[in-house]
Amino acid sequence: PGTPGNRPFNGPTPTPLRPGLENIPGLRRASDLAPGIRQGQTPPAPPAPPSPTYGLDERVRHPSFGDGTVIQIEPGRGTEVMIQVKFDTVGVKKLSTGLAPLTRIP
């Protein structure tokens, strides 16, 4: 049911060494040495940095929305936190602390 070189249950057929190299003692393919990641696999994503933390009534600044006050804090996905900020000029916005470019106002 399969053709030569088609190894559906055992993974891809390894690439042969160049002629003359197979007799060198200790010579191995780089793919044989690399642990974990194999051809066709995607490496794991690095862990997300922790989201900044904000407190209720804390003043923050957003580059587009301006200055505002944190009025609500709720859990989001993973390490992200969702906050509601009442901005002085544009009203209330719900923002992810992991994505929103907020800075604290002293």
List, for residues 18-56, the tens digit of each pLDDT value.
Answer: 777 777 777 766 666 656 555 666 777 776 655 668 899
Task: Take residue 70 and report the two structure tokens written for it.
Answer: 């944190």
Which band of pLDDT confidence, cut at 50, 70 and 90, is reported for residue 72? very high
Q: Is the pTM of this model over 0.75?
A: no
Higher pLDDT, 57 or 7: 57
Q: Kindly list the distances between the CA atom of residue 82 and the CA atoms of 22, 96, 98, in Å, as whole numbers in the listed order.
A: 58, 5, 9
